[in-house]
Chains A and B, each alone.
Chain A
Amino acid sequence: MSKMILEFEKPIVELEKKIDEMRTLSDTLDIGQEIQHLEKKVIQLRENVYAELTRWQRVQLARHPERPYTLDYIGMMTNDFIELHGDRAFGDDKSIVGGFATLGDEPVMLIGHQKGRDTKSNVYRNFGMPQPEGYRKALRLMKLAVKFNRPIVTLLDTPGAFPGIGAEERGQAEAIARNLFEMSHLPVPIVVVVIGEGASGGALGIGVGDKILMMEYTWYSVIAPESCSSILWKSWEYKEQAAEALKLTPTDLLEQKIIDGIIPEPPGGAHRNPEAAAQSLKEAILAELAGLKKLKADKLVEKRIQKFCAMGAWNE
């Protein structure tokens, strides 16, 4: 059972608790029918609540502290992951992890943002906010994948690239730009999945690929709703409106033709059943890879560039 419960999760979780309590009594009382009735009710309630979620509530789900993170997914999707550290120039950024692993029957390079779960691990992971060496490590690993002709899978989950003195001094902007430049032409399939928060250039810095997917309860945009509120409304109070205006949910981005698909999550979200979420993620990645592997490298790159060039809307 979750320790952290969002406001709109409360009635659902309370009902589930009640069912659990009744189950412990069911040995002594004949209340099977009542339990069945309540189980149906909880499903209905959840469906109703989740169908009505605002964009801001979806942002909250994407940030749920019990959602699976990159290393959780890797642990559930593979059993031979070998993490590779460091950018060979400055250090090892703990907010981006990566390494080889076998996904299904497929050796791949897995790279993703990594958040922490408690204060200590959050400090260790810098809250999932990469510095330049994180992006450079990612690029080094991607080039390693190219050398051995392995597909690349990246998992996006960051509140943004870290805004700090050191990050600026070591070229945060250049590191992200370089990745965008290089990733556009890497001659192996790249599948990108937003598994939590896709905030701005910090997310996109490992997010150029042939197929861009989002898990059901995630967001992806140019800025977080709070920051957008503070800049455009000049107050932190308009985050709900900002989330609506930014149209940042998977359904929104599918409509905008920015992403290629949405990966369904288990009822209530990935944090309510991480194993099922991981299974769903793994199947989606493997399905995309199977399609992409049929393309020759030059065709793959050509289509990738065309894909990003088609993004945008203007009058002429």
Chain B
Amino acid sequence: MAWFRRSKENISGSQKKDLPEGLWAKCDECGEIIHKPALEQNLWVCQKCGYHFRISSKTYIAILTDDGSFKEMDKKLTSKDPLGFVDTKPYKDRIKESIRKTELQDAIRTGVGMMNKRSVVIACMDFSFIGGSMGSVVGEKIARAVDKAIRLKAPLIIISASGGARMMEAAYSLMQMAKTSAKLAQLSRKGLPYISLMTDPTTGGVTASFAMLGDVNIAEPGALIGFAGPRVIKQTIGKDLPEGFQKAEFVQEKGFVDIVVPRKELKGTISSLLGMMCA
């Protein structure tokens, strides 16, 4: 990347859009323009500042599981729009549009895979699907992932990336918090490990249910983790928020995250933990 950094000063805002589409990415944190293949090689972490780009469930699963070992479950579950919800546009249309744009069915992908030759059940959220919001589909897929883990006597790993509950499913989405937590309590009673990995961002009803309930809570560096969003808090108290507030490192400092682990070390760290936690 050194050749590029030297010439960076020459790239003004107006020239940026002349960059070949799809080949370059700009770091949200430090502004570095990075060659995408190099970024991908580095697991979508900025080599200059360590910023962790938001990545898809597909990418997380590729990073965490052994090549070709992942088998997705419950692929066909889609939201039903049980309330016929309409705000500025119908929820039905939002779902259709999101499915088309993201090529996902909802905000979570679940399945079974091998992690350094250990069988694990993985559930991974996609922030790109309606802000990773939790509705009935997310709740049900997590519930089934727990059942699968119990059947296989395998550990469960949930990777969260969410703005919270999905408003368009109203009370149904609220109840997914209780549903997923109850299922995790079942898993816990079977003595099976649950690793929660919180990525940027993990907020609202997802944090206040399954994301905070890991036997081990892991967070990616710099991830925003909280119950209320920073804007709401600022609005409520009318004061500026402290430096680093609700960042992974801050949440670890306050005692709610066990370890902050850089993306490159995730697979190794989780594997080691599982090795020490179960046979």
Contacts and interface: CB of A to CB of B under 8 A. Distances in A.
A161 B229 CA distance: 12
Given A167-B227, A232-B88, A201 B208 contact: yes
Contacts of B228: 161, 163-164, 167-168, 172
B80 to A, nearest CB: 4
Interface in A93-144: none
Interface in A146-188: 161-165, 167-174, 176-178, 180-182, 184-185
Interface stretch (B10-18, B35-43, B168-176, B262-270): B168-176
Interface of A is mostly: helix
B177 A180 contact: yes
Nearest to A132: B227
A200 B205 contact: yes
A176 B167 contact: no
Interface of B: 74, 76-80, 82-83, 85-88, 135-137, 139-140, 143, 165-179, 181-186, 188-189, 204-205, 207-213, 225-228, 232-233, 236-237, 239, 241-242, 245-246, 254-256
Nearest to A182: B185
Interface residues of A, number: 56
A312 B136 contact: yes
A304 to B, nearest CB: 8
Which of B83, B170, B237, B241: most chain A CB closer than 10 A?
A: B170
B181 A161 contact: no
B175 A313 contact: no
B242 A208 contact: no
B185 A222 contact: no
A313 B168 CA distance: 12
B136 A314 contact: yes
A220 interface: yes
A35 interface: no
Contact of B232 (A163, A238, A241, A245): A163
B246 A168 contact: yes
B226 A168 contact: yes
A180 B16 CA distance: 48
Contacts of B181: 177, 180-181, 184, 208
A161 B233 CA distance: 11
Contact of A168 (B136, B175, B227): B227
Contact of A222 (B82, B139, B170): B170
Contact of B79 (A238, A258, A314): A314
30 contacts: A161-B208, A163-B232, A164-B228, A168-B226, A171-B212, A171-B256, A172-B226, A172-B228, A173-B207, A174-B256, A177-B209, A180-B178, A180-B181, A181-B181, A181-B184, A184-B181, A200-B205, A204-B178, A208-B181, A220-B171, A221-B171, A222-B165, A231-B167, A246-B167, A308-B179, A309-B182, A311-B175, A312-B135, A315-B79, A316-B77
Contact of A181 (B169, B185, B207): B185
Interface string A291-316: 00000000000001100110111111
A301 B184 CA distance: 14
A238 B86 CA distance: 12
A168 to B, nearest CB: 5
Given A222-B166, A245-B85, 17 more contacts: A173-B207, A173-B212, A177-B208, A185-B189, A204-B177, A222-B169, A245-B87, A246-B85, A248-B171, A252-B171, A305-B182, A309-B179, A311-B139, A312-B137, A312-B179, A313-B136, A313-B172
